[in-house]
């Protein structure tokens, strides 16, 4: 297994819509293994394939990675089929370094996708799991959580990030 590079804003792939996976082959299984290792190493609780530079409809999540409730979720071609309620939650992202903000999301979602065996599964989620699934599916649609903020907050982050990146240049 390998720790993959996590793409960060403003890398272009983060704004791309991911392509559906048509065949679950060794390449997809290996990618899942690498993504899981990368997510746990980061440490994070969710990771979309686009965040590691692969424009495929795939996400992994585990909202309690070090706890007794730890349960790895792997979803291929996920889609939200039911969404209800509204909640505001402070989010951060491995691809948006050094920034958190309150984001409005659905309180409960039902997500449908495939597992690694190619079987259709449906996950009814609320609370943190609902937030994580919506966040990762946004990634697969080329959207970052900062895209859900006001233009002012988004622009402030982008300006600060550009200055940070400029300082890092040799």
CATH number where 144 lies: 3.90.45.10
What pLDDT is attached to residue 63? 94
Give a yes or no: residue 6 inside a domain.
no
Could you report the per-residue pLDDT of 35-70, keeping only the tens digit for each?
999 999 999 999 999 999 999 999 999 998 777 778
pTM of the model: 0.95
Give a yes or no: residue 163 inside a domain.
yes
**Number of structural domains, the chain?**
1
Question: Rounded to an integer, what distance in angstroms lies between the CA atom of residue 34 and that of residue 46?
Answer: 13
Q: Quick one: which of 158, 106, 159 has its CA closest to 134?
A: 106
What pLDDT is attached to residue 169? 80
Domain of 31 in residue numbering reads as 12-168
Could you report the per-residue pLDDT of 79-93, keeping only the tens digit for each?
999 999 999 999 999
Give a yes or no: residue 18 inside a domain.
yes
Of 119, 122, 136, 168, which is the active-site residue?
136
Residue 1, pLDDT > 90, answer no
What pLDDT is attached to residue 122? 98
Average pLDDT of the chain, as a whole number: 96
Catalytic (active site) residue 90: no
What pLDDT is attached to residue 60? 98
Give a yes or no: residue 137 inside a domain.
yes
pLDDT band at 160 (very low <50, low <70, confident <90, very high): very high
Can you tell me the mean pLDDT for 7-31? 97
What pLDDT is attached to residue 65? 77
Could you report the per-residue pLDDT of 118-138, keeping only the tens digit for each?
999 999 999 999 999 999 999
Give a yes or no: residue 4 inside a domain.
no
Of 56-60, 70-74, 101-105, the range with the lowest mean pLDDT is 70-74
Give a yes or no: residue 41 inside a domain.
yes
What pLDDT is attached to residue 95? 98
**C-beta contacts of 96-104 below 8 A and 24+ residues apart:** 96/8, 96/9, 96/144, 96/145, 96/146, 96/157, 97/8, 97/9, 97/161, 97/164, 98/164, 99/146, 99/157, 99/160, 99/161, 101/145, 101/146, 101/149, 101/153, 101/157, 103/145, 103/148, 103/149, 104/148
């Amino acid at each position: 297994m390998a720790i993959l590079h996590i793409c960060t804003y403003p890398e272009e792939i983060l704004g791309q819509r991911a392509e559906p996976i048509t065949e679950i082959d060794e390449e997809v299984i290996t990618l899942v293994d690498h993504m899981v290792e990368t997510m746990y190493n980061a440490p994070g609780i969710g990771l979309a394939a686009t965040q590691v530079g692969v424009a495929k409809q795939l996400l992994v999540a585990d909202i309690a990675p070090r706890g007794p409730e730890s349960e790895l979720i792997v979803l291929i071609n996920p889609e939200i089929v039911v969404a209800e309620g509204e909640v505001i939650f402070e989010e951060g992202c491995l691809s948006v370094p050094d920034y958190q903000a309150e984001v409005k999301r659905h309180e409960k979602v039902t997500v449908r996708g495939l597992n690694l065996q190619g079987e259709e599964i449906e996950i009814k989620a609320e609370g943190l799991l609902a937030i994580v699934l919506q966040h990762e599916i946004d990634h697969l649609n080329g959207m970052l959580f900062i895209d859900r903020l006001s233009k002012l907050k988004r622009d402030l982050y982008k300006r600060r990030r550009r200055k940070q990146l400029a300082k890092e240049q040799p």
